[in-house]
Each structure stands twice: as C-alpha cells, then as structure tokens.
Structure 1
C-alpha cells in the first residue's frame, strides 16, 4: 500500500480545518484536542509533500495547493461513504432534534417518510430547547424555532412561519356557536406558554385590545403543554395555526376568533454545512415538499 495515501482521519481533519480556518474550531467539531488536529494536518502535509495552510497569528488560510485539494478530497470521502452505504446491511440513520411543541405535527410526517423510504431510519429526539449546537450535539439536523438563522456554518430551510390565534376546546363555546368575542374571552382562564405571556400580548396588540386581561391565568413551561390543557377544556391558549391544524381537523380544538397574527418567528430545518450524511438531503427535500 502506498504510505503516502492519507487516512480518513487526516482527510476529515483537513476538510473541517479548511472550513473553520482555526485549529481550535476544528477541534471542537471533531471532538478532539487542538494538538491532535494540528498533528493530523502536519502528517497529511508530510505525506503529500506540500503545504496546505498558511499559518497566521489569528488563524489559517488555504494555500493554492490546499484550495485545489479541498474539493477533490471532499469528493473522495463522499464516494467512500456512498460505497459503504450501498454494501452495508446497516440502515442509514438520520438523527433529528425538534422542539417538543412541534412533535405532534412532525410525527405523522416522519412516519410517512419512513414508509416512503424504509431503508432510512430517522431517530427523533424532542427537547424544550429551541436551538441546537451541532459542534457539541451529535445530531444530523434540527428544527429550530427563531426569527432567522444567521449562523453561516449552517444550511437552513424555513418549514413554516408562526401564525398565532386563540384555540380552545369546543365545550367552552355555547351550543351552536363556534366564535367568541375578545371581550367574552376575559371571563375564561387564559393559558400561557411563557411567564411573560408574550403570545397573548402579541395577539391582543394586533387586536387593539392591549388593556384586556383575564381574571384567571395559568402558566406552563411549553406551548404543547398549554395547548394540551386547552384541549382538555381548562381555558383558552394562543396556539400556532399550523401546529393546531390536526387537532382542529379532528374536532379536539376550535379557533374561536378569526384574527391570526404573524409572530415574526418560524420553524427552520437546519443542518451543518460539514454534514456528510448522504440521506439527510432526502429527508430535507421530503419535509419541504410535504409542509407547503
């Protein structure tokens, strides 16, 4: 065997370092020490008998040889991984993280995806956190709730914008009615997903009723718990139109007022640009096609 051929560790270290242009940042992504990354790069440069990086006081930059080598070595790694997947008996795995409030909406889509692509396994983890650090968490993708994703190291796609409206159980409405006036709502318990009551405040501001308050308020840690309480008839919650759609269609919830307000936030499907999971683009494309 040609001893000048780089190892997969050396190739991976070069790719990540070329994208981060700092040994410390590359070490965090690879979950090794800075010295280990530096040694991998030095070993690779010795095998190739070329300099891949210019070393600066505040970071690195690729040499001309390094710039030429980067896309070639990326292609080699992708081909190797594709070859392994084609002959391996182990199903490709996608590790997906999502906020707990979105799981009721997401689960039917994941199950439908599994039926469409039985050879790909999706491992779903729910969390009360609304973001993900791909450097420290071992997920291939995550659904993030935010105004926008500014991190340039990530690829993101908007699944849907958050649109807020009151939701409650049909039992709270008078027989034969499916609507409530804003003033009538003050006589019912208001269910809040945050201590700041921000969702209600935003909706009332757009309704021009900022001074309106409820005599009874109940706070919960997450949106899904507040909406679950609303389904059980404990009061009225502010819910997202898309997330509540299945419960509205089944008759478990109603939207008793026509006003719907955009919060300025949305649910984004994000993944690292350095991800080498060949099945991930299939899931991303499928979710986008089945969300619009």
Structure 2
C-alpha cells in the first residue's frame, strides 16, 4: 500500500482547517486538541511533500498548492461518504437546520419523506436565526430566509416565496363576519414579529392604508410566536400564506382580508457546492417537488 496516501483524519483536519484558517477553530469543530490538528496537517504535508498553509502571526493562509488540493480532497471525502452509504447497513443521517417558524409546514413533509425513504434519517435542528455558516456549523443543508442567495459557494433551491396577509383566530371575528375591512382591523390588537413592524407596514402600504395604526400592539421575537399568539385569540398577526395554510385549513386561523403581498423574500434550501451526498440529493428532490 502506498504510505503516502493520507488518512481520512488528515484529510478532514485539512478541510476543516482550510475552511476556518485557524487551528483553534478547527480543533473545536473536530473535538480534538489544537496540537492534534497541527500534527495531522504536518503529517499530510510530509506525505505530499508540499506546503499546504503559510503560517504567519495573523493565522493561516492556503498556499497555491493548498488551494488546488482543497476541492479535490473535498470530492474524495464526499465520494467516500456516498460509497459507504451505498453498501452500509447504517442509516445515513441528514443534518438539516431550519428556522423555527417553518416547523409546522415542514414536519408533515419530513414525515412522509421518512415513510417513503425509511433508510434515510433526517435530523432537524430549529433556530430563530434564518441563516447558515457551513464553515462553523455542522449541518449538511439548511432552509434559510433570503431576498436572494448571494453566496456563490452555495447551491440553492427556492421552496416558496413569502406572501403576507393578516390572520387571526375565527373567535375574534364578530358574529356573522368572515373578514374585516382594513379600518375595522384597528379595533383589534396587532401582533408584530419584529420591533420595527415591517410586515404590517408593507401590507398596509399595499392596502393604501399606510397611516393606519392599531390602538393595541404586542411585539414578539419571531414570526412563529406572533402567529401562535394569533391562533390563541390574542390579536391579528401578519402571517405567510404558505406557512399558515395548515392552520387555515383546520380552522385554527382565518384570513381577514383577500389582499396578500409578496415581501420579496423567500425560503430557500441551501447546501455547499462541494457536497456530493446521495441521500441529501434525494431529500432535496422530495422537498422541491412536494
């Protein structure tokens, strides 16, 4: 066997260090000591007889050889992972980060995916943050909330555009009414998912009622908290039509007005271009098509 072939530990140490350009950060991601990462890198450089990093007082930078080697070795690791998945009896696990506000919409899709592909396990982690940093976060993919995806290291798939409309619990409506005029809404509490009230401001501007205000306002940290309060009858929230669809179909929420407004943003499924994960591609196809 060729003793110059790097070990998987050496390759992983190089990839993580190249992504962070700091031995301390790489050590934290790999759950080893800084010295262990340094030894793996030095061993790899000795086997290849090249220098992968320039070391200086500010940290590390990739050499020209290191820049050439990085995409090649990432492909090797991804191909190896795919090969193991094909023949292994161990379930492949897809680690997916999602914003907490889409959990209700996403869970039924994930459950039907798991029924269709029982050999693939999906591990969901929800967060109030709507972004992802694959260099420092250990996820295979994420669903993010963007105007557009500008990072050219990522592949993105639009799941749905955001369409905003006022929603509330049916119990808040006067008897015999199914909707309210914009002016009638000011008599009920308005629930805001952000301190600057941008969702309400956008919707009111498109309803030609930009100057209208409510007598009672309540602020929340996230969209799902504001919509949850609306479900419980505490007031009116601006909700996304897609995310609120299950609650509206079940009668837990009702639309107060026919006007819905595109915010210009949407929910995208994103993952690194370097990823070559067959199980992940199966999940992506499922979510985009369903």
The TM-score normalised by the length of structure 1 is 0.84
Structure 1 residue 96: Cα displacement:
1.3
- Residue by residue, what CA displacement relative to the aligned partner does 1:37-91 show, whole Å, maximum 9, x if unpaired? 6654543343244x3658598833434x974x66664554344323322343321
- Whether the aligned pair in 1 keeps the contact of 2:100 and 2:224 (CA below 8 Å) is yes
Structure 1 residues 16 and 276, CA gap change in structure 2 (3 angstroms): farther
Counterpart position of 2:64: 62
* 2:186 counterpart residue number: 186
Q: How far apart, in 1, do the equivalents of 2:251 and 2:26 lie?
A: 52
C-alpha contact 1:162 1:263 (8 A) present in aligned 2: yes
Residue 81 of structure 1 is matched in structure 2 by 81
Deviations 1:90-130 (A, max 9, x none): 21111112111110001101101101110111111212222
Q: Show the counterpart of 2:114.
A: 114
Confirm or deny: 8 A CA contact 1:162 1:262 kept in the other structure: yes
Q: Is the 8 A contact 2:145 2:267 kept in 1?
A: yes
Partner Cα separation in structure 1 for residue 256 and residue 109 of structure 2: 27
C-alpha distance 211-74 of structure 1, shift in aligned 2 (>3 A): closer
**Root-mean-square deviation (CA), in Å?**
3.0
Do the aligned residues in 1 keep the contact of 2:155 with 2:273 (CA within 8 Å)?
Answer: yes
Equivalent in the alignment of 2:262: 262
Q: Contact (CA 8 Å) 2:74, 2:274: kept in 1 or not?
A: no
CA 1:75–1:97: 2 relative to 1, 3 Å: closer
> Secondary structure in 2 aligned to 1:279?
helix
Report the equivalent of 1:143.
143
Closer/same/farther in 2, CA of residues 231 and 5 from structure 1, 3 Å limit: same
Instruction: State the Cα distance separating 1:171 from its structure 2 match.
Output: 2.4
Q: What residue ranges of structure 2 are gaps of 5+ in the alignment?
A: none
Q: Compared with structure 1, are the counterparts of its residues 114 and 83 closer, same or farther at alpha carbon in structure 2 (3 Å cutoff)?
A: same
Aligned pair in 2 of structure 1 residues 78, 224: CA closer, same or farther (>3 Å)? closer
Q: Count residues in correspondence.
A: 286
TM-fit CA distance, 1:244: 0.8
Structure 1 residue 183, shift from structure 2 partner: 0.5
TM-score by length of 2: 0.84
Partner of 1:206: 206
Instruction: Please list every run of 5 or more consecutive structure 1 residues that lacks an aligned counterpart in the other structure.
Output: none
Partner of 2:239: 239
